[in-house]
C-alpha cells in the first residue's frame, strides 16, 4: 500500500521543479565570494534567488536577508531587540515562545486569535519595542487578524514582526507584509528545500549579525551561502500555485470528524487551506499517530519542534483546551502532492481507530 504523507506543516516533499533545480546546482561548486568564473556562477544563484523571492513578495531585493531557516530568522529579529520589552502571542512557534528576549505573552481567544483588548492593555503596561505575532499557526492553521494588530502597533509606534513561515504560498500576503517591520520565512513547508529561510526587514541597519566572519549578506550573516538550496528557492518561487483547492477537501474530512464526535480546533475561524487539527476525545495523540503510521499515513500530534516528543500542545492549552483534550489532538496538513483519495484514507483510518476504541469501551 502506498504511503500517504500528511505532515506538510512539519516539512514537505520537494516540488519536482525544486528537486530538478537543486540537482543541477550541485554541479556549480564555486564559492559565491570567489571572483573567478566558478565563484561568479555560484554568486549568480544567490542573486537570482534573492530577486525571485523579492518579486514573489513584491518587495526590494535589498530587504532580504537569507538564513538557515525559520528558527534562525526569528531569532535574528528578536535578538535585534535585546534588552527592550518584547511581546509575542501565546501561540507562537517555539523559536519565539522560548526566546530569552520575549518579555511577556499575549493571550488568545478560544478561537486561537490574539485577544486585541488584552494586547492594548499589555502595550500600555509594558511599552514594548516589538510585537511578534505569526500570520498563521503551524498547529491549528488559524490566521491572525494582522491588519488589526498592525494598526495597534503603528499607532503606538511599536515595531511589528510577523512569522510567515506557514503562510507563505498558502495565503495572500499583500495585505499583511507592507505593515510589518520584520517578516520571517522558511520554504520547506511548501515544496521548497530545507536549510534556507529569510528575514525581510524595512531597515537593514536594524539587523545585527548572529554569525560573525565574512561579509556575506551585506555583513549581516557570515558564512558561505547555501547555493543548492537557494537554487531550489528560485524554482519554488516560479512553481508556486495557490492551495485553495485543498480547503474543500479538508472541510469534507472535518465534517466526517465532527459527525463522529471529533473536535476541529479553530472551526468557523479563518484557517490555512491545508491544515486541520482534530481532537479525538479520550484517545491519546500518540495512539492516533501510531495507528495512522501503521496504516501507512504520516501525520503529527502538533509542532515538529520537540525532538519527537508527543506532549500536550501549549498552543491548545493557550486556547483554553484542557490538558486531557490537548493531549488528544492530531494535525493533518496537506500540500502539492496530496490527492482526494488521501483524504478518504485518513478519514477511514480515523473512523477505524474510533470504532476500535468504542468497542474496547463496550468490553470494559
* pLDDT tens digits, 185-198: 999 999 999 999 99
| Residue that is written with C-alpha cell 486531557 in the block | 324
Quick check: 310 pLDDT over 90?
A: no
- Look at residue 261 and tell me whether its pLDDT is greater than 70: yes
pTM for this predicted structure: 0.95
Catalytic residue annotation: 305
Residues of the chain above pLDDT 90, percent: 88
Residue 258 pLDDT greater than 70, yes or no: yes
Asked if pLDDT for residue 336 goes beyond 60, the answer is: yes
d(CA 161, CA 178): 11
Given a cut of 70, whether residue 364 has pLDDT beyond it is no
Mean pLDDT (the chain) is 94
Question: What is the band of 304 on the pLDDT scale with cuts at 50, 70, 90?
Answer: low
Cβ proximity of 140 and 170 under 8 Å: no
Nearest C-alpha neighbor of 162 from the set 201, 211, 197: 201
Torsion angle of C-alpha atoms 18, 20, 26, 27, degrees rounded to 10: -140
Give pLDDT, residue 307.
42
Residue 321 has what pLDDT?
97
Q: Which residues pair with 108 in a beta bridge?
A: 114
Query: Which pLDDT value is given to residue 21?
Result: 98
Tens-place pLDDT, residues 203-248:
877 888 989 999 899 889 989 999 999 999 999 999 998 899 999 9
Residue-wise pLDDT for 100-155, tens only, equals 999 999 999 999 999 999 999 999 999 999 999 999 999 999 999 999 999 999 99
- Taking 60 as the threshold, does the pLDDT of residue 308 lie above it? no
Q: Are strands 263-264 and 275-279 parallel, antiparallel or unpaired?
A: antiparallel
pLDDT tens-digit profile of 341-353?
A: 999 999 999 999 9
**What residue ranges define each of the domains in the chain, with the CATH number in brackets?**
4-12+242-363 (3.90.1150.10), 16-239 (3.40.640.10)
Cα separation, 308 vs 330, whole angstroms: 14
Among the listed ranges 78-92, 109-123, 278-292, 308-322, which one has the minimum average pLDDT value? Answer: 308-322
The candidate with the shortest Cα–Cα distance to 114, out of 83, 78, 150, is 150
- How far apart are alpha carbons 92 and 105 in whole angstroms? 9
Residue 298 has pLDDT above 60, yes or no: yes
Q: What is the pLDDT of residues 37-78, one digit of tens each?
A: 999 999 999 999 999 999 999 999 999 999 999 999 999 999
pLDDT bucket at 360, cuts 50 / 70 / 90: confident
Q: What is the DSSP string of 334-351?
A: --TT--HHHHHHHHHHHH
Q: List CB contacts of 19: < 8 A, sequence separation 6 or more.
A: 232
SS3 362: helix
* Coil/strand/helix, residue 23: helix
Write out the three cell numbers for 204. Answer: 537593514
Q: Would the pLDDT of 323 be above 90?
A: yes
- pLDDT value for 236: 98
Amino acid at each position: 500500500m502506498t504511503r500517504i504523507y500528511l505532515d506538510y506543516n512539519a516539512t514537505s516533499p520537494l516540488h519536482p521543479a525544486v528537486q530538478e533545480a537543486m540537482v543541477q546546482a550541485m554541479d556549480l561548486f564555486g564559492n559565491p565570494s570567489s571572483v573567478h568564473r566558478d565563484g561568479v556562477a555560484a554568486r549568480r544563484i544567490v542573486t537570482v534567488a534573492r530577486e525571485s523571492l523579492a518579486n514573489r513578495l513584491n518587495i526590494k531585493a535589498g530587504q532580504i536577508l537569507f538564513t538557515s531557516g525559520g528558527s534562525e530568522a526569528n531569532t535574528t529579529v528578536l535578538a535585534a531587540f535585546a534588552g527592550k520589552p518584547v511581546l509575542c502571542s501565546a501561540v507562537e512557534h517555539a523559536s519565539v515562545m522560548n526566546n530569552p528576549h520575549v518579555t511577556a505573552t499575549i493571550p488568545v481567544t478560544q478561537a486561537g486569535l490574539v485577544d486585541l483588548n488584552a494586547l492594548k492593555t499589555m502595550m500600555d503596561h509594558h511599552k514594548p519595542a516589538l510585537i511578534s505575532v505569526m500570520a498563521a499557526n503551524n498547529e491549528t492553521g488559524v490566521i491572525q487578524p494582522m491588519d488589526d494588530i498592525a494598526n495597534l502597533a503603528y499607532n503606538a509606534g511599536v515595531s511589528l514582526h510577523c512569522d510567515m513561515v506557514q503562510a507563505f504560498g498558502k495565503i495572500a500576503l499583500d495585505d499583511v507584509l507592507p505593515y510589518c517591520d520584520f517578516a520571517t520565512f522558511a520554504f520547506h513547508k511548501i515544496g521548497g528545500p530545507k536549510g534556507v529561510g529569510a528575514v525581510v526587514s524595512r531597515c537593514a541597519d536594524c539587523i545585527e549579525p548572529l554569525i560573525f566572519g565574512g561579509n556575506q549578506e551585506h555583513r549581516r550573516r557570515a558564512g558561505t551561502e547555501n547555493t543548492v538550496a537557494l537554487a531550489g528557492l528560485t524554482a519554488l518561487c516560479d512553481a508556486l500555485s495557490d492551495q485553495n483547492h485543498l480547503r474543500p477537501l479538508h472541510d469534507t474530512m472535518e465534517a466526517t470528524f465532527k459527525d463522529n464526535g471529533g473536535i476541529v480546533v479553530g472551526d468557523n475561524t479563518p484557517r490555512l487551506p491545508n491544515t486541520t487539527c482534530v481532537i479525538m476525545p479520550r484517545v491519546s495523540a500518540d495512539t492516533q499517530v501510531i495507528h495512522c503510521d501503521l496504516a501507512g499515513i504520516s501525520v503529527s500530534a502538533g509542532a515538529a519542534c520537540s525532538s519527537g516528543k508527543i506532549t500536550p500542545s501549549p498552543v491548545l492549552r493557550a486556547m483554553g483546551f484542557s490538558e486531557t483534550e490537548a493531549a488528544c489532538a492530531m494535525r493533518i496538513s496537506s500540500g502539492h502532492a496530496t490527492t482526494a483519495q488521501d483524504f478518504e484514507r485518513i478519514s477511514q483510518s480515523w473512523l477505524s481507530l474510533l470504532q476500535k476504541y468504542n468497542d474496547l469501551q463496550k468490553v470494559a
